[in-house]
Amino acid sequence: MAPIQNFTPFSVLLLLSISPFFTFIKQPSIHAKEQHPVKALVAPIYKSNTSIYTISLKINDANPNQQFLIDLSSTFLSFPCCPYSNPKKVQTSVTINSTDGKNPTGDVTVQNLKTSCNATSVASLARSPHSLSSQLISRLSMKKQFGICMPDSYSKQGEIFFGSEPYYTMFPYSVDLSTVITYIPLIKRPQNPSYMITLTGLVVNHTQILSFNSGTTALISTTDPYTKLRSDIYHSFIDAFNKESAGYARVASVKPFEICFNKSAVPFSRVGYYVPQIDLMLDEGKEWSIFGSNSMVQSGEEALCLGFVDGGMNMEHGMVIGGFQIENNFLLFDKDKSRLGFSSTLLFMRVMCSAFNFTSSN
Ligand SMILES: *[C@@H]1O[C@H](CO)[C@@H](O)[C@H](O)[C@H]1NC(C)=O
Ligand SMILES: *[C@@H]1O[C@H](CO)[C@@H](O)[C@H](O)[C@H]1NC(C)=O
Ligand SMILES: *[C@@H]1O[C@H](CO)[C@@H](O)[C@H](O)[C@H]1NC(C)=O
Ligand SMILES: *[C@@H]1O[C@H](CO)[C@@H](O)[C@H](O)[C@H]1NC(C)=O
Ligand SMILES: *[C@@H]1O[C@H](CO)[C@@H](O)[C@H](O)[C@H]1NC(C)=O
Ligand SMILES: *[C@@H]1O[C@H](CO)[C@@H](O)[C@H](O)[C@H]1NC(C)=O
């Protein structure tokens, strides 16, 4: 039983004044159908029509398939709850599918997870001991990594893997997503549980437009729908993109975007609309290339807009890489080696994030 029942009124009062409210665990307990240790878990990621990305999880027995906002910077698994009036409800269990990397292989329930209460249900993935990813990985003793494949507005479904590769797609062929990535170091900052990388420069249509001194960082965010750039970087970037795409007919801007083309004038390619390629220059000379499928946002019937926004001058990071720019990309967050694996667009391989086979193999 939760020790909260033994608390004196004074300590209850103390607890009431603390936010977020933590649950207290005794013995961890795990119920898995299979006898073998669980090596990996899989859950669907959905995109709503308002550019919100969620993970579908089963929390406790009363709430099947609840949607949790994916937040790479949040440190607690949270949802609307009221532990003060109903102490039993603080005992949270999460039920999620195990996987062999090809299909879901059966429900695994991890009990007594630490959670906090929040008006929004949040699946926290930060580098902190009480995030959902850290708790699932440590309680099941899985490999310390998770991978996300974000869906686009058309397919609407992607997936998240916790634990060991492989992570196979089924369509149009089978490819292990962990084999198509390039690694870069994640920046380690004590007290900062977010995922940050070093940005060394910016290239538009194969021409380097900016080079940064050490210390310019890019944060990866799944709660920002579009990539935000610090104003000075944004203006140089917009100017260069404007120049390199001068041949395309413009239409009126559609907020929050600035550069919008007449859609009917822009040719289509395997990797989305054919527009100037954008390269983020990263550590160790690595480059993250962004093509039309991750740069151009369809805004209404006729407009195709460059999906980057001005984040103002007071940004902590030079860039916050938002959800649209990582759709149909595979990202692997490797905690042991403190590195990020990134694939750039999977569309070159004709693979989409909707290609995991969610049909149970049982
Ligand atoms: C989003 O989808 C919901 C349900 O499918 C619908 O009710 C709502 O109108 C949609 N919103 C927009 C902005 O399209
Ligand atoms: C596990 O996967 C199966 C097959 O897709 C699905 O029916 C079941 O609801 C999933 N379990 C959870 C907890 O999501
Ligand atoms: C609730 O969750 C959101 C999204 O992660 C976060 O920004 C906010 O700070 C949280 N609120 C509290 C009270 O923890
Ligand atoms: C876009 O181009 C098409 C074809 O040239 C034209 O018919 C249409 O009026 C243009 N739309 C705008 C908003 O300029
Ligand atoms: C990119 O640069 C090439 C060579 O300078 C130029 O011909 C082309 O128009 C530019 N824009 C695009 C969209 O390729
Ligand atoms: C998906 O998995 C199921 C169960 O293993 C299998 O029967 C089916 O053929 C798979 N689908 C594809 C397209 O590979």
pLDDT in tens, 131-162: 999 999 999 999 999 999 999 999 989 999 99
CA separation for the pair 302, 324 (Å, rounded)? 19
CA separation for the pair 281, 310 (Å, rounded)? 19
Is any ligand 6 atom within 6 A of the Cβ of residue 120?
no
Q: Is 272 left (phi over 0), alpha (psi -120 to 50) or beta?
A: left
Cα of 32 to ligand 5 centre, how many Å?
55
pLDDT band at 298 (very low <50, low <70, confident <90, very high): very high
Q: Whose CA is nearest to atom 11 of ligand 5?
A: 244
Q: Which letter does DSSP use for residue 237 in this model?
A: H
Cα of 256 to ligand 5 centre, how many Å?
26
Least confident of 87-91, 127-131, 226-230: 87-91
For 94, the enclosing helix (H) or strand (E) is: strand 92-99
Please tell me the predicted confidence (pLDDT) of residue 89.
Answer: 55
Is any ligand 5 atom within 6 A of the Cβ of residue 236?
no
Interval 172-178 mean pLDDT: 96
User: Is 128 exposed, middle or buried (CB count within 10 Å of its CB: 0-12, 13-18, 19+)?
Assistant: middle
Is 247 in contact with 276 (CB distance < 8 Å)? no
Residues whose CB falls within 8 Å of the CB of residue 277, separated by 6 or more in sequence, listed in order: 203, 204, 205, 206, 289, 290, 291
Please tell me the predicted confidence (pLDDT) of residue 11.
Answer: 36
Condensed to tens digits (0 to 9), the pLDDT of residues 327-358 reads 999 999 999 999 999 999 999 999 999 999 99
Token code pair at residue 113: 């997870």
Domain ranges of the chain: 9-164, 182-354
Please tell me the predicted confidence (pLDDT) of residue 49.
Answer: 82
Domain 9-164: CATH superfamily, name plus number: Acid Proteases (2.40.70.10)
pLDDT band at 112 (very low <50, low <70, confident <90, very high): very high
Judged by its nearest atom, the ligand closest to the C-alpha of residue 254 is 4
pLDDT band at 23 (very low <50, low <70, confident <90, very high): very low
| Number of C-beta neighbours around residue 85 at 10 A | 7
DSSP-assigned beta bridge partners for residue 160:
43, 148
Cα of 249 to ligand 5 centre, how many Å?
15
Question: CA geometry: angle at 104 spanning 168 and 52, to 5°?
Answer: 80
| Number of C-beta neighbours around residue 151 at 10 A | 21
Which residue, among 282, 280, 285, has the nearest Cα to 295 in the 3D structure?
Answer: 280
CATH number for the domain running over 182-354: 2.40.70.10
Phi/psi of residue 273, nearest 5 degrees:
-60, 145
For 59, the enclosing helix (H) or strand (E) is: strand 53-59
Is the peptide bond preceding residue 64 cis, with omega within 30 degrees of 0?
A: no
Interval 304-328 mean pLDDT: 98
Phi/psi of residue 188, nearest 5 degrees:
-100, 120
Condensed to tens digits (0 to 9), the pLDDT of residues 247-293 reads 999 999 999 999 999 999 999 999 999 999 999 999 999 999 999 99
pLDDT band at 5 (very low <50, low <70, confident <90, very high): very low
Q: Which letter does DSSP use for residue 168 in this model?
A: B
Condensed to tens digits (0 to 9), the pLDDT of residues 26-69 reads 334 455 444 579 999 999 999 998 889 999 999 987 777 889 99
Q: Whose CA is nearest to atom 14 of ligand 4?
A: 251
Assess whether the region 9-164 and the region 182-354 belong to the same CATH fold. Answer: yes
Which residue, among 131, 48, 53, has the nearest Cα to 326 in the 3D structure?
Answer: 53
pLDDT band at 215 (very low <50, low <70, confident <90, very high): confident
